[in-house]
């Protein structure tokens, strides 16, 4: 089973104090830690688990600058066989559609049985790249997958719906699945893995390798464009409780009694 | 006449809330552009749903087919491709839900329609639309414009982003449209629904919920929060990463892919407030949020906020309440 | 000149960071600290992932890297948690004596299981009456037929109650002149008749690590347990220190960085007099001083490691790194407690533990005074 995984390196912002930079179109990324997109870490783990079970290869793709090599190497160290980075000045500023477009062209050059992507990326949250790649490659897809069973020439996938309901679907291979968190437990990178990676070269594909025109990728190939960023309006917002922890506790106690009917 | 088309979402015989929200927002936009609102309804034996929708829009475009009994991205794509190609709506609106996330991106790509996903704001602007999306887990808002020019556009809309507003009925009609589907094999097939195993707990009945998020950092700190819950007579709940990491059972998860809860008091501890979580708890009577990041989006849905390190404040609250209860 | 880590080294650093962050569990650690428990599971996992024995050659179960890569792991582990970091990265303590001087058979027998997480190792040099000065050992080894018979007492032995084997420095020729020319390092396995280990507790810090007294009474081991050449024990141990002290420097460096990380976080949160304490210039200066010391310790430590990996053993540089990084660990952890104020004194807030753990880096593997002696003698030797 030959599997392709598309991944992205993103800044870790959940715990960080983030601010908008001077351009007003991006956040200030200095001082932020970067890592493999959370959803992608489950996708790569799932691919490696499948490979361990059924044999074959895992190839990782990422569209991004040289920094993305860090995440590609992480995937290689986890157990992927090859990594390819899509990089070209023309790719800059692309949205989910343009990113998918470039990736789809690259994947067209490679035989595969299964493509895995994350359900969405932590940073821009388009949740779109996987399904668009599938469309462009004319293969079936299933989104938000939290369980996979491989069968003869097809896959049974559990798709997560709302309210704890799941939908079980069957797709013929080759197919694309977008992976949901929690499907597995992503492994740690081992030193053995890093040693293996050190000998590997990460291939770079540019515009000319992909049979794409500059106007088909990057900002010019995008559906949408970012105008400006702003902090979400707080609305009525929360009444911030201040003071000593004991005073705050006292207030919480009163709220629980008044509003929660705490005995 | 310019048309705005929404795609109705339903499951197991019931319309989903997002459908009403789409209708409300769609109606407002259609009025702004002096156009009309249509609802596309795909399914099998869904005429009663069509009737329910009829007066909320100018028309319901009903496509019934046995093959549409269960949602399937492939059948949806085929039917909607034909419908959108024929009717050329200026804007197609779809829920950014498990269903919409599944079929909208492929459909837009297929039709070469510019698409903006997960919108929380949409405004008509001359012959295009400007939208607002959230990035970085809801910490930042982004004003976004369509770069590619229409005449048709597509958006997926975050569930809960627009309220359902009751408006005077429209002279709606149900127009049955023949299904373009054939028995030609589908590469994707629906098999069945299954309920995720949730374990014993039922968090939907509690008056007080104490919900813990990834901020708790590890499984062994969960008892600390459990103690607080016990002290105040509440039940323990959590955000998704806590379930993903198997620190608590799936039945404790609040949010779109977990439970929707409406306790009298909801205490969110170390939860950032991603919309998928908020969707499951915003109906709570009173929300208290504890987070060390003053910019955490959870503070915009909470009535009370505490900016603090949960490891420091939670034990203090627990001890103090124990003492006060005596 | 190039001060950058290689790509591979950065990957190792990141892998170590992610691993220890994933394993970090404050409540558990406080529990282990209270009960003096060795973090066995974390150690096993670290071995399985190749972090322990990273500097052993592949044929002996290692990863074939140098000491630079080893200390990157030590630094990251100790940074996230001084207690777990020290305990886990000392699980292979003294195995380098075998690595550098042992026979291929010894290496196969002892190093492979150490790297795999099956064996914990120990090194027994210090005795109740011979600490800084190990030129004459009270523990003796006498040849009897095909065995050595060992008698004596070793004290403060890391992993004493846990280790599967020890490298023991023995006096084989009490009449040698000078006495250190009559010493050998000999392998003694756990469970050998006559070997007894008694835990020494309570102690100030590194409570996740076992420290024990070893008593040898007529302990018999085969002559093949001799490591390297006869009567070269003292020299081997000194050479081993030239390597291991860099590792201790990395412990200090990691502890300092970890204490600093926590202090910086806290200073940004804590408010007094209506402002964050980080807004007081005095706090800012403290942080600036701490960071500068840490960076200096890092430069020295990395340079010592790099030098070693270039095949140049430089006791002076190693001692400088060990002495300085240890001192920085203690000073920075001390200042971190100060920034935390009263909270810093409370176990829950961790920096007091970093402080207690930091102190050992100024004592074991040669006190800071002994390091100064080494530095000075190298300097003066050169002047001559
Ligand atoms: C299809 C789909 C369905 C989903 N369904 C759900 C769902 O049903 N429910 C759900 O919850 N999520 C769901 N998610 C995931 C959602 O997008 C978020 O990833 C998730 O809600 C984040 O959980 P969190 O807030 O616990 O973690 P994070 O976003 O990582 O936030 C952790 C928070 O803890 C705070 N914190 C950290 N340390 C401390 C401390 N010491 N003291 C105080 N605060 C601290 C941080 O400031 C941060 O705000 C879904 C996602 C997708 C794509
Ligand atoms: C927790 C712990 C773990 C340890 N682990 C091990 C281990 O695994 N294996 C092992 O063999 N040992 C171990 N040791 C022992 C450690 O290496 C010795 O304690 C250390 O070398 C100092 O020896 P001492 O305690 O006998 O002090 P002493 O040598 O008695 O020193 C007392 C003081 O005199 C100073 N001093 C001594 N000589 C001089 C001099 N020439 N000039 C100036 N000042 C001098 C010292 O610097 C010190 O300040 C450990 C110790 C501890 C506390």
d(CA C93, CA C88): 10
A239 within 8 A of B303, measured Cβ to Cβ? yes
Domain boundary among B135, B161, B176: B176
What is the pLDDT at residue B270?
A: 96
C326 lines ligand 2 (CB under 6 A): no
Mutation for C interface: A31, A38, A188, most C CBs within 10 A = A188
**pLDDT value, residue B55:** 94
The answer to whether position B185 is within a domain reads no
Contact B220, C27 (CB under 8 A): yes
Q: How confident is the model at residue C33 (pLDDT cuts 50, 70, 90)?
A: very high
The verdict on B163 and B224 lying in the same domain is no
Same domain as B117, residue B209: no
Asked if A188 and C18 come within 8 Å (Cβ–Cβ), the reply is yes
pLDDT in tens, B254-271: 999 999 999 999 999 999
Do B25 and B172 sit in the same domain of this protein? yes
Q: Which of A127, A227, A261 sits opposite B101 (nearest CB)?
A: A127
Instruction: Note whether C49 contacts A191, CB cutoff 8 Å.
Output: yes
Could C27 and B309 be called an inter-chain contact, meaning their C-beta atoms sit closer than 8 Å?
Answer: no
Q: How far is C-alpha C76 from the chain's CA centre?
A: 14
Tens-digit pLDDT profile for residues C62-116 = 999 999 999 999 999 999 999 999 999 999 999 999 999 999 999 999 999 999 9
What is the domain range of residue B295? Answer: 203-325
Interface test with A, best of C11, C50, C69, C270 (most A CBs within 10 A): C11
Name, in order, each residue with C-beta under 8 angstroms of A201's C-beta and a sequence gap of 6 or more: none
Last residue of a domain, one of B111, B141, B176: B176
Interface A-B, measured as beta-carbon pairs within 8 A, has a size of: 299
Atom of ligand 1 nearest to the CA of B257: 8
> How do residues C281-330 score in pLDDT, each as one tens digit?
999 999 999 999 999 999 999 999 999 999 999 999 999 999 999 999 99
Nearest to residue A114, comparing CAs of A45, A173, A39?
Answer: A173
The question of whether C18 is a catalytic residue gets the answer: no
pLDDT in tens, C4-27: 999 999 999 999 999 999 999 888
Residue nearest to atom 23 of ligand 2 (CA): C131
- For chain C, percent of residues with pLDDT exceeding 70: 99
pLDDT in the model for residue A192: 97
Q: Who contacts C203 (Cβ-Cβ below 8 Å, separation ≥6)?
A: C211
Local confidence band at C153 (pLDDT 50, 70, 90 cut-offs): very high
Gap between the terminal Cα atoms of chain B? 70
Q: What is the mean pLDDT of chain A?
A: 94
| Helix, strand, or coil (residue B38) | strand
- Which of A52, A66, A53 is closest to A9 using CA atoms? A66
Contacts of B219 in chain C (CB under 8 A): 25
- Taking the domain A2-216, which CATH number applies? 3.40.50.620
Rounded Cα distance between C43 and A62, Å, is: 34
State residue A193's pLDDT score. 97
Q: What end-to-end distance do the CA atoms of chain C give, in Å?
A: 30
Which residue minimizes the CA distance to atom 43 of ligand 2?
C369
Average of per-residue pLDDT values in chain C: 96
Q: Judged by CB atoms within 8 Å, which residues 144-183 of A form the interface with B?
A: 144, 156, 158-172, 175, 181-182
Looking at residue C299, what is its pLDDT?
A: 98
Contact call for B218 and C25, based on CB within 8 A? yes
C201 CB less than 6 Å from ligand 2?
A: no
- For a mutational test of ligand 2's pocket, the pick from C92, C120, C131, C247, i.e. the residue with the most ligand atoms closer than 8 A to its C-beta, is C131
Which parts of chain B register pLDDT below 50? none
∠B105-B106-B112 over CA atoms, to 5°?
90
In angstroms, the CA B267 to CA B228 distance is 10
Kindly state if the Cβ of C123 falls inside 6 Å of ligand 2.
yes
Q: Do B140 and A122 touch (CB under 8 A)?
A: no
Same domain, B285 and B145: no
| Confidence bin at A31 (pLDDT 50/70/90) | confident
If pLDDT is split at 50, 70 and 90, which confidence band does C125 have?
very high
CA distance B253 to A160: 14
Fill in the DSSP letter of residue B72.
Answer: -
Domain for residue B194, yes or no? no
- Chains A–C, number of C-beta pairs less than 8 Å apart: 47
Question: What does the pLDDT read at residue C384?
Answer: 41
State how far the Cα of C342 lies from the Cα of C347, in Å rounded to an integer: 11
Choose, out of B75, B81, B98, B141, the residue to mutate when testing the contact with A (most A CBs < 10 Å): B98
Which of B176, B194, B224 lies at the terminal end of a domain, its last residue?
Answer: B176
Ligand 1 midpoint to CA B141 (Å): 17
- Has residue B182 been placed in a domain? no
Which ligand is located closest to the Cα atom of residue A14? 1
In chain A, the residue whose alpha carbon lies closest to the alpha carbon of B12 is A165
Judgement on whether residues B152 and B94 belong to the same structural domain of the protein: yes
- Domain assignment present for residue B196? The answer is no
- Model confidence over C176-217: pLDDT tens digits? 999 999 999 999 999 999 999 999 999 999 999 999 999 999
Percent of chain A with pLDDT over 70: 99
Whole-number pLDDT of residue C319: 97
In a domain, B35, yes or no: yes
Q: Which of A82, A120, A100 is nearest to A210 (CA)?
A: A100
Does the CB atom of residue C344 touch ligand 2 within 6 A? no
Decide if A118 contacts A7 (C-beta within 8 A): yes
Residue ranges and CATH numbers for the domains of chain C are 7-116 (1.10.540.10), 121-231 (2.40.110.10), 235-380 (1.20.140.10)
pLDDT for A236 equals 64
Clarify whether residues B162 and B14 are in a common domain: yes
- Counting Cα atoms < 13 Å in the Cβ hemisphere of A221 gives 20
Kindly determine whether residue A191 and residue C51, on different chains, have CB atoms separated by under 8 Å: yes
Q: Measure the CA angle with vertex B112, ends B111 and B115; round to 5°.
A: 100
Res. A213: pLDDT tops 80: yes
Q: How confident is the model at residue C383 (pLDDT cuts 50, 70, 90)?
A: very low
pTM metric for this prediction:
0.91
List Cβ neighbours of C213 (8 Å cut-off, separation of 6 or more): C153, C154, C155, C156, C157, C160, C197, C198, C200
Q: How many residues does chain B have?
A: 326
pLDDT at A235: 60
Model pLDDT for residues A102-134, shown as the tens digit of each residue: 999 999 999 999 999 999 999 999 999 999 999
Q: Which of A15, A17, A181 shows the shortest C-beta gap to B240?
A: A181
Residue ID of nearest Cα to ligand 2 atom 32: C132
Domain count, chain B: 2
| Per-residue pLDDT tens over the stretch B17-74 | 999 999 999 999 999 999 999 999 999 999 999 999 999 999 999 999 999 999 999 9
Alpha-carbon distance of C335 to C105, in angstroms, equals 48
**Measured CA distances, A23 to A5, A16, A172, A176, A228 (Å):** 33, 20, 46, 37, 8
The C-alpha atoms of residue C282 and residue C115 are separated, in whole angstroms, by 46
Q: What is the pLDDT of residue A232?
A: 86
Mutate to test the interface with B, among C23, C26, C27 (most CBs of B within 10 A): C27
Predicted local confidence at residue B1, as pLDDT? 83
> With a 6 A CB cut-off, is C124 part of the ligand 2 pocket?
yes
User: From ligand 2's centre to the CA of C52, what distance in Å?
Assistant: 26
Query: Å from C377 to nearest chain A CA?
Result: 39
In this structure, the residues whose C-beta lies within 6 A of any atom of ligand 1 are A 14-15, 119-120, 144; B 137, 213-215, 239-241, 253-258, 270-272, 274, 276-277, 280, 290-293, 296, 309-311
Structure tokens at B198: 């949730």
C369 lines ligand 2 (CB under 6 A): yes
Query: According to the model, what pLDDT value does residue A214 have?
Result: 94
> Cβ of A190 and C48 within 8 Å?
yes
Instruction: Give C24's contacts in chain B (Cβ within 8 Å).
Output: 217-218
Q: What is the pLDDT of residue C382?
A: 58
Question: Is residue B231, in this structure, part of any structural domain at all?
Answer: yes
- Which chain A residue has its CA at the smallest distance from C11's CA? A194
The answer to whether B140 contacts A219, with C-beta atoms less than 8 Å apart, is no
Q: How far is the CA of A168 from the centre of ligand 2 (A)?
A: 66
Backbone angles phi, psi at B276, to 5 degrees: -65, -30
Atom of ligand 2 nearest to the CA of C160: 8
Reference A101, options A225, A226, A210, A224; nearest CA is: A210
pLDDT over threshold 50, residue A2: yes
**Does B66 reach chain C within 8 Å, measured CB to CB?**
no
* CATH assignment of the domain containing B106: 3.40.50.620
Residue A103 bridge partners (DSSP):
none
The pLDDT value given to residue B126: 85
């Amino acid at each position: 089973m030959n599997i392709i995984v598309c991944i992205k390196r993103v800044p870790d912002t959940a715990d960080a104090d983030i601010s908008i930079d001077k351009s007003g179109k991006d956040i200030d990324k200095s001082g932020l830690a970067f890592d493999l997109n959370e959803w992608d870490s489950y996708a790569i783990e799932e691919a490696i688990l499948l490979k361990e079970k059924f044999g074959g290869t895992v190839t990782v793709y990422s569209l991004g600058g040289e920094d993305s090599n860090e995440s590609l190497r992480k995937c290689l160290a986890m157990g992927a066989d090859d990594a390819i980075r899509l990089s070209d000045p023309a790719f800059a500023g692309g949205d989910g559609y343009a990113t998918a477009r470039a990736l789809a062209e690259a994947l067209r050059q490679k035989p595969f049985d299964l493509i895995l992507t994350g359900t969405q990326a932590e940073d821009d949250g388009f949740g779109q790249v996987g399904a668009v790649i599938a469309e462009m490659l004319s293969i079936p897809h299933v989104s938000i997958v939290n369980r996979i069973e491989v069968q003869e020439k097809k896959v049974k996938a559990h798709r997560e719906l709302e309210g704890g309901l799941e939908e079980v679907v069957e797709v013929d291979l080759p197919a694309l699945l977008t992976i949901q968190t929690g499907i597995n437990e992503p492994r740690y990178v081992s030193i053995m893995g890093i040693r293996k990676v050190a000998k590997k070269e990460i291939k770079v594909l540019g515009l000319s390798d992909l049979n794409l025109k500059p106007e088909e990728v990057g900002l010019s190939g995008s559906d949408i464009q970012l105008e400006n960023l702003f902090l979400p309006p707080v609305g009525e917002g929360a009444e911030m409780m201040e003071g000593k922890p004991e005073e705050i506790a006292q207030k919480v106690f009163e709220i629980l009694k008044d509003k929660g009917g705490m005995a | 006449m310019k048309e705005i088309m929404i795609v109705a979402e339903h499951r197991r015989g019931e319309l989903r809330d997002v459908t009403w929200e789409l209708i409300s927002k769609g109606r407002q936009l259609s009025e702004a552009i002096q156009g009309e609102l249509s609802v596309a309804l795909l399914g099998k034996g869904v005429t009663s749903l069509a009737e329910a929708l009829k007066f909320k829009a100018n028309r319901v475009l009903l496509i019934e087919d046995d093959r549409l009994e269960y949602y399937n991205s492939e059948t949806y794509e085929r039917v909607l491709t034909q419908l959108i190609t024929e009717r050329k709506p200026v804007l197609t609106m779809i829920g950014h839900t498990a269903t919409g996330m599944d079929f909208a991106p492929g459909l837009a790509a297929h039709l070469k329609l510019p698409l903006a996903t997960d919108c929380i704001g949409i405004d008509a602007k001359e012959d295009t639309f400007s939208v607002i999306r959230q990035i970085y887990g809801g910490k930042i808002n982004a004003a976004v414009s369509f770069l590619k020019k229409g005449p048709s556009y597509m958006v997926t809309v975050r569930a809960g982003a627009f309220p359902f507003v009751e408006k005077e009925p429209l002279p709606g009609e149900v127009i049955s449209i023949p299904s373009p589907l054939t028995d030609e094999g589908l590469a994707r097939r629906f098999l069945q629904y299954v309920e995720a195993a949730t374990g014993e707990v039922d968090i939907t009945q509690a008056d007080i919920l104490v919900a813990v998020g990834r901020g708790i950092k590890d499984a062994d700190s969960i008892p600390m929060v459990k103690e607080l819950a016990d002290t105040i007579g509440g039940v323990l709940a959590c955000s998704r990463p806590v379930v993903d990491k198997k620190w608590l059972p799936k039945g404790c998860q609040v949010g779109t892919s977990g439970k929707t809860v409406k306790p009298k008091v909801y205490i969110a501890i170390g939860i950032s407030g991603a919309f998928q979580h908020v969707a499951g708890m915003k109906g709570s009577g009173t929300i208290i949020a504890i987070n060390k990041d003053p910019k955490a989006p959870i503070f915009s849905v909470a009535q009370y906020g505490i900016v603090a390190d949960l490891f420091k404040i939670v034990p203090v609250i627990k001890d103090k309440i124990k003492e006060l209860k005596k | 000149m190039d001060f950058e880590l290689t790509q591979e080294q950065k990957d190792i650093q990141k892998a170590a960071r992610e691993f220890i962050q994933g394993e970090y569990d404050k409540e558990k650690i406080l529990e282990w600290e209270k009960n003096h428990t060795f973090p066995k599971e974390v150690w096993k996992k670290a071995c399985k992932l190749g972090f322990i024995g990273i500097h052993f050659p592949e044929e002996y179960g290692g990863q074939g890297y140098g000491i630079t890569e080893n200390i990157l792991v030590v630094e990251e582990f100790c940074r996230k948690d001084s207690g777990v970091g020290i305990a886990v990265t000392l699980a292979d303590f003294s195995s380098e004596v075998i690595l550098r001087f042992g026979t291929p058979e010894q290496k196969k027998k002892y190093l492979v299981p150490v790297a795999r997480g099956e064996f914990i190792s120990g090194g027994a040099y210090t005795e109740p009456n011979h600490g800084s000065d190990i030129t004459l050992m009270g523990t003796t080894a006498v040849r009897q037929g095909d065995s050595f018979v060992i008698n004596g007492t070793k004290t403060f032995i890391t992993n004493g109650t846990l280790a599967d084997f020890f490298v023991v420095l023995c006096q084989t020729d009490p009449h040698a002149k000078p006495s250190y020319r009559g010493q050998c390092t000999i392998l003694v396995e756990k469970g050998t008749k006559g070997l007894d280990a008694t835990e020494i507790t309570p102690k100030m810090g590194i409570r996740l690590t076992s420290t024990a007294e070893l008593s040898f009474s007529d302990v018999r081991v085969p002559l093949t347990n001799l490591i390297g050449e006869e009567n070269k024990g003292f020299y081997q141990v000194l050479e081993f220190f030239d390597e291991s002290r860099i590792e201790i420097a990395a412990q200090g460096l990691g502890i300092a960085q970890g204490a600093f990380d926590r202090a910086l976080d806290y200073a940004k949160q804590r408010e007094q007099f209506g402002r964050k304490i980080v807004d007081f210039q005095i706090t800012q200066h403290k942080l600036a001083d701490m960071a500068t010391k840490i960076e200096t310790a890092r430069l020295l430590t990395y340079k010592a490691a790099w030098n070693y990996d270039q095949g140049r053993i430089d006791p002076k540089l190693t001692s400088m790194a060990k002495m300085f990084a240890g001192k920085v660990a203690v000073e920075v952890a001390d200042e971190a407690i100060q920034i935390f104020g009263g909270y810093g004194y409370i176990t829950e807030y961790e920096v007091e533990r970093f402080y207690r753990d930091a102190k050992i880096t100024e004592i074991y593997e040669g006190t800071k005074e002994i390091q100064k002696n080494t530095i000075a003698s190298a300097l003066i030797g050169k002047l001559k």
